């Protein structure tokens, strides 16, 4: 049976399609299947199979810290994350929180378009680019995999992590769905060697060392970075093995409630040089100083949700979406990706 929540088609970026018009993934320990009308998001949730995890060790997952208050654009509703009165309201809360449906993209796009003609020209063809609020542990290790990597290989590595170290959540339509591994699983003494044999290369060491350190410090340390100022969260993350400025910004933006974080890779650098900061064309390398300057420029231009605006510009510049900028039907386009893993071209 399908349930629904109000959600305009222009206000949502959806997951990878498993069939035309239907998206599926694991979220909060359950298999979610989504489809969308112009005004509603329809969802079906399958609970974990009771016998699926008998062969896997039950690893403890840290309780997430309370979500801090944040500035919500005018016109946005409050998701009301209090105690759920029934299971359906709890599921709706999970979905609204994950997609950050309390943030009105329409209001943000208007602000950004008024501030920047380039955004106005590009953003109108990609109205559904929404930043997800992902689990910090999953997001952290996914982006550690992104170092010197491409989208296909990153996705493949994340799947390998889930199958090898995650719990089997269930089987649906002949396919097995796994949760993301617990930190304790990634910190196992044999993990680095196993990951190297699975093709992770030098990232195997970073994953194992970061997991071991996070396990020692306690996962609450990571979740509490949602409650500190962005500069502090960004600096703290870089104390983890395999985490440089770009990965730290990705984690800040996509899971730690710092919407002004700007992940700068060579692609974003090129956008800044071409459209906003021509003086950077004389720079031969993306230095730490240039990295900070680009981030500050976009934060000054777009405000508190600059990371969201930057994600729209990044998406609009990808080859798969460039054709939409000339499409008269562009206003009806919804971005179909779940997690855009961008290529990181220098080691942390």
Q: Which residues are catalytic?
A: 246
- The answer to whether 326 and 280 have CB atoms below 8 angstroms apart is no
Q: Which two tokens stand for residue 18?
A: 């498993």
Q: ∠ CA 190-144-303 to the nearest 5 degrees? A: 155
Long-range contacts of 281-284 (CB under 8 A, 24+ apart): none
Pairing of strands 30-36, 175-178: unpaired
If one counts every other C-beta atom within 10 angstroms of the C-beta of residue 63, the result is 9
């Amino acid at each position: 049976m399908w349930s629904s929540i109000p959600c305009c088609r222009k206000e949502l970026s959806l997951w990878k399609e498993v069939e035309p018009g239907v998206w599926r993934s694991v979220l909060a320990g359950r298999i979610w299947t989504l489809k969308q009308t112009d005004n509603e998001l329809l969802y079906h949730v399958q609970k974990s199979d009771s016998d699926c995890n008998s062969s896997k060790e039950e690893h403890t997952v840290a309780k997430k810290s309370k979500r801090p208050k944040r500035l919500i654009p005018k016109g946005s509703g409050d998701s009301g994350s209090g105690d759920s009165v029934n299971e359906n309201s709890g599921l709706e809360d999970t979905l609204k929180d994950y997609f950050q449906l309390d943030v009105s993209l329409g209001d943000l796009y208007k602000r950004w378009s008024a501030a920047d003609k380039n955004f106005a020209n590009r953003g109108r063809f990609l109205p559904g680019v929404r930043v997800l609020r992902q689990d910090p542990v999953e997001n952290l290790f996914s982006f550690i995999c992104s170092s010197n990597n491409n989208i296909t290989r990153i996705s493949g590595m994340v799947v390998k992590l889930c199958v090898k170290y995650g719990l089997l959540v269930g089987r649906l339509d002949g396919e097995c769905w796994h949760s993301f591994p617990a930190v304790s699983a990634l910190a196992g003494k044999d993990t680095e060697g196993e990951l190297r044999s699975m093709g992770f290369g030098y990232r195997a060491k970073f994953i194992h060392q970061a997991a071991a350190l996070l396990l020692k410090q306690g996962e609450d340390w990571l979740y509490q970075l949602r409650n500190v100022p962005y500069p502090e969260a960004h600096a703290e993350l870089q104390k983890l093995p395999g985490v440089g400025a770009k990965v730290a910004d990705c984690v800040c933006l996509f899971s730690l409630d710092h919407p002004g974080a700007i992940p700068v890779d060579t692609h974003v650098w090129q956008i800044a040089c071409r459209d906003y900061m021509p003086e950077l064309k004389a720079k031969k390398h993306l230095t730490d100083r240039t990295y900070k300057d680009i981030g500050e420029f976009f934060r000054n231009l777009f405000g508190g949700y600059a990371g969201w605006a930057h994600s729209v510009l990044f998406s609009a510049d990808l080859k798969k979406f460039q054709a939409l900028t000339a499409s008269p039907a562009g206003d009806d386009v919804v971005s179909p990706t779940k997690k855009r893993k961008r290529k990181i071209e220098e080691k942390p």
